[in-house]
Amino acid sequence: MTAAEGKLGLDPEVVRTARRLAERAAQPVIELARTHSTVSVERAVVRLAGITGADAEGIPWVNRLVDSVRDQVGLEYGVALPVWAALATGDYPGLTALAREAAAGGVTFRLPTGHAAERARRASLRAVAGGVARVDANRRQREEMIAGLGDPPKPWIYLIVATGDIYEDMPQAQAAAREGADIVAVIRSTGQSLLDYVPEGATREGYAGTYATQENFRLMRTALDEVSAELGRYVRLTNYASGLCMPEIATLAGMERLDMMLNDSMYGIIFRDINPQRTFIDQRFSRQVHARAGIVINTGEDNYLTTADAVDAAHTVIVSQLLNEHFGHEAGLADWQLGLGHAFEINPSLPDQFRLELAHAQLVRELFPDAPLKYMPPTKHMDGDVFFGYLLDAFFNLVGTITGQGIILVGMMTEGIVTPFLSDRDLALKNVRYVRDACGSLAEDFHPPRDGVIATRARQVLSESIDLLGRICDDGLLDAIAAGTFGITKRPATGGKGLDGVVAQAAGYYNPATEILEGRAHDEVQDELS
């Protein structure tokens, strides 16, 4: 469905103007990301080459290795050349052994030149290509499993499972799938986004979530593969590629066949106070990995409406979605991978609230017709009245069905009281299934009058979005974030956590992962990638 074929009477030229302005607003930030790197980007490079494990204090060897390089020669030229030059000149069986020796102070890293630099470049490229080949193989396996098992109809039902203990999460996830969940999200332990390392191994403790680790990813993917075969439909797995380790978590997700990742360009900035420059640099690399892995990203615009008013700030959601779309496309993501987020968060006491929700949801659907939109349930106005909460969730499910959303996160009637029990999830899933099945193809019959409240409100929000994008083009996106434009939270470009991990690329900077992901190294690594 194009804008011209839509139900709201949107002017196609107005829509094109909005996208042109979003491209202009995003360009300076994209240039920043292209010309800078971070410690997490460099760690992701080494992770693709196969390094695993951690020291006795739980700090991953990849952190020890990259920190040693940074301390001795800096990261302006990337980590690959110094690391693979050291491997070539020392008696090290692999990266982990090199990292152990480096952590003990036994390795002198140098930036190689001449033939030594060329050997290091080729060796690092081959090693990283092995990791990319694993990502490619996982993508093929997912496609084959979907072709063999079948795909559930949309909207996909998305449900969160996270006890803190991965071994408790797995049976709960399987139970959720049996009750109708199409996507299982393992929410991260509170505070992990602020850790500048990714924990190793399976974890059995976490606060309000479970740690995102490579082993936890593997365990949950295995559990969902088992239940997928049992149910005859592919059950997708989601986790969170955000925070200070966004590039690494994205890489581990690709290596363990996750299907979706929370990956938003501004969520970490606004809600976790992570430095804006660090975030935009990390998100570009992480999205390049997602693009290669065939992973669908979920963006976080719904969160703006938990701090700002859902009516007054509706246009900031559209602006952020347009920016996320352009950032995603520039990194290589296709439309089918853009799970742009929005939410049902208008105050239920507001007259005509349901019509306004329809207007906002239909506007997003028409602006991004090929994106698998992720629609979030009410949270801000869930007050502990479980009966009203259950009704409000039903209205949310109804809007999602009428407007053809692609992914519906299951709302919980106990949202304002406790972490949901299995019985709460069961009731919530019944709510979604009933509304979805009862409505059928109701979206086909939904045609609001062109001069009615719904269509008029949608066009108003789009107009306000264009006005805001124009101001962002004039002032700059980083300044707009600093002014509290999104989520009413002010985050200056030089503030927050992680700026010390940002480095400007020197003229001879080399990153074998981006060489492959951006298509500049295909002929050199064909054997590894095939």
pTM (2 d.p.): 0.95
Strand segments, DSSP code E, in 295-393 are 296-298, 338-339, 341-343, 374-376
Q: What per-residue confidence (pLDDT) applies to 90? A: 85
Residue 254 has pLDDT above 60, yes or no: yes
Q: Could you tell me if residue 380 is inside a domain?
A: yes
374 belongs to the catalytic site: yes
DSSP-derived letter for residue 497 is B
Report CA Rg, the chain. Answer: 23
Pick the catalytic residue from 211, 267, 509, 510: 267
Between CA 381 and CA 211, with CA 411 as vertex, the angle to 5 degrees is: 105
Q: Which residues pair with 409 in a beta bridge?
A: 158
Question: Between the CA of residue 107 and those of 69, 93, 123, what are the distances in Å?
Answer: 9, 14, 19
| Dihedral pair phi/psi, residue 393, rounded to 5° | -65, -35
Q: Is the dihedral of CA 234, 236, 237, 242 positive or negative?
A: positive
The pLDDT-based confidence of 521 (bands split at 50, 70, 90) is confident
Look at 456 and 415; give whichever has higher pLDDT: 456
Average pLDDT over residues 493-512: 97
- Per the CB < 8 A criterion, the answer to whether 12 and 364 are in contact is no
Q: What per-residue confidence (pLDDT) applies to 415? A: 76
The two three-digit tokens of residue 457, written as one number:
């409100």
Give, to the nearest 10 degrees, the angle between helix 246-255 and helix 214-231. 40
Q: Could you tell me if residue 510 is inside a domain?
A: no
Q: Could you tell me if residue 397 is inside a domain?
A: yes
- Per the CB < 8 A criterion, the answer to whether 432 and 180 are in contact is yes
Q: What per-residue confidence (pLDDT) applies to 344? A: 95
Q: Is the dihedral of CA 512, 284, 272, 494 positive or negative?
A: positive
CATH of the domain at 298: 3.20.20.440
Domains identified in the chain, total number: 1
Residue (of 69, 2, 8) closest to 42 by Cα position: 69
Task: List pLDDT tens digits, range 196-238.
Answer: 999 999 999 998 899 999 999 999 999 999 999 999 999 999 9
Q: Could you tell me if residue 513 is inside a domain?
A: no
Q: Could you tell me if residue 188 is inside a domain?
A: yes
- Per the CB < 8 A criterion, the answer to whether 321 and 163 are in contact is no
243 class by beta-carbon count within 10 Å (0-12 exposed, 13-18 middle, 19+ buried)? buried
Pick the catalytic residue from 136, 302, 393, 424: 302
Listed in sequence order, the DSSP H helices in 90-113 are 95-103
**What's the mean per-residue pLDDT of the chain?**
94
CA distance linking residue 363 with residue 319, whole number of Å: 12
Average pLDDT over residues 444-468: 96
Q: Could you tell me if residue 5 is inside a domain?
A: no
The DSSP-derived string for 387-427 is HHHHHHHHHHHHHHHHTT-SEEEPP-TTTTTSSPPHHHHHH
The percent helix, strand, coil of the chain (3-state, each to 5) is 55, 10, 35
Residue 275 has pLDDT above 80, yes or no: yes
The pLDDT-based confidence of 156 (bands split at 50, 70, 90) is very high
Q: Which region among 95-104, 176-185, 421-430 has the lowest average model confidence (pLDDT)?
A: 421-430
Residue 4 has pLDDT above 60, yes or no: no
Q: Which residues pair with 341 in a beta bridge?
A: 374
Which amino acid makes up residue 49? A
Task: List pLDDT tens digits, range 318-368.
Answer: 999 999 999 999 999 999 999 999 999 999 999 999 999 999 999 999 999
Percent of the chain with pLDDT over 90: 86
Structural domain containing residue 262: 152-459
Question: Between the CA of residue 77 and those of 82, 258, 285, 506, what are the distances in Å?
Answer: 9, 31, 16, 6
Q: Could you tell me if residue 350 is inside a domain?
A: yes
Q: Which residues pair with 408 in a beta bridge?
A: 157, 375
The pLDDT-based confidence of 530 (bands split at 50, 70, 90) is low
DSSP-derived letter for residue 350 is S
- Indicate the SS3 state at residue 262: strand
| Dihedral pair phi/psi, residue 191, rounded to 5° | 95, -10
Return the HEC string of 129-186. HHHHHHHHHHHHHHHHHHHHHCCCCCCEEEEECCCCCHHHHHHHHHHHHHCCCCEEEC
Residue 384: which region, alpha, beta or left (left: phi > 0; alpha: psi -120 to 50)?
left
Pick the catalytic residue from 169, 182, 374, 390: 374
Average pLDDT over residues 365-385: 93
CA distance linking residue 427 with residue 443, whole number of Å: 24
Q: Could you tell me if residue 65 is inside a domain?
A: no
Q: Is the dihedral of CA 388, 394, 395, 397 positive or negative?
A: positive
- Per the CB < 8 A criterion, the answer to whether 205 and 164 are in contact is yes
| Dihedral pair phi/psi, residue 342, rounded to 5° | -155, 175
Q: Which region among 179-183, 194-198, 519-523 has the lowest average model confidence (pLDDT)?
A: 519-523
Percent of the chain with pLDDT over 70: 98
Average pLDDT over residues 43-55: 97
Q: What residue has token string 């490579």?
A: 214
CA distance linking residue 293 with residue 50, whole number of Å: 17
